[in-house]
Amino acid sequence: MIPTSYPTSEEMARLTARMLLEIKAVHFNAAEPFTLASGLPSPTYIDCRKLISYPRIRATLMDFLTVTVMRNAGFEAFDNIAGGETAGIPFAALVAERMALPMTYVRKKPKGYGRNARIEGDMSEGQRVLLVEDLTTDGGSKISFVDAIRDTGATCAHTAVIFYYGIFPETEKTLGDHGVQLHHLCTWWDVLAEARVSGAFDEATLTGVEAFLKDPRAWQAERTQS
């Protein structure tokens, strides 16, 4: 069933942040930072994969994501929903079901045998494809997925994620320069605000996290200098 009437984007952002905090998908630790895939330190970490194990939250967020895309991009804007390997695959399937559209997924790299394909499922020339992922930081991985979709002759001008870091100003420009519009439900700022309201973390931790969010590059540079 396609959702048609849902809260404002601001309320969806607040509720999404609340749900992520409720299932403990959000981790804050300014004293002992996490190491990101880039190798850089961060006092924040989020695990959106946990959402697939919580049916009520999962269903609500997929309704939110579907209606956000339709409001922003159009109700008849897509012919195919593609998930990025691996975290985006279940969310793409759930969005595709709501929009009554075919679902495909994009590999991070060719599988190295058989057809050596990056696209799994049926994607054809001229189709308008929505790329669905769990989150985005700087938008880099989205570019690779978009290029693989476009190599089939399909178009991809939109990507939708549950969580967008919202702290790296170059992200939307990077995607925009590549002809891709980003749609998201919430950011670290939404999570920080809801964490303060709910008392999910102590004030010292939240203050440390806020310092990172205001200038993440400087925060990381201070902690990686030899």
CATH of residue 111's domain is: 3.40.50.2020
Nearby residues of 6 by Cβ (< 8 Å), 6 or more positions away: 12, 63, 64, 67
**Has residue 17 been placed in a domain?**
yes
Query: Radius of gyration of the chain from Cα atoms?
Result: 18
Taking only the tens place, the pLDDT of each residue in 22-81 is 999 999 998 899 988 778 889 999 999 999 999 999 999 999 999 999 999 999 999 999
Q: Is the Cβ–Cβ distance between 122 and 104 less than 8 Å?
A: yes
Residue 2 maps to a domain: no
pLDDT digits (tens, 9 = 90+) for 3-22: 667 899 999 999 999 999 99
pTM: 0.94
Domain of residue 168, residue span:
9-219
Residue 21 forms part of a structural domain: yes
Q: How many domains does the chain have?
A: 1
* 1 falls within a domain: no
Q: How far is CA 131 from CA 11, 16, 74, 138, 161, in A?
A: 24, 20, 15, 16, 9
Instruction: Answer whether residue 129 is part of any domain.
Output: yes
| DSSP 8-class letter at 78 | -
**In-domain check, residue 38:** yes
**153 in the Ramachandran plot: left (φ > 0), alpha (ψ -120 to 50) or beta?**
left
Residue 201 lies in a domain: yes
Residue 224 lies in a domain: no
* pLDDT score, position 169: 87
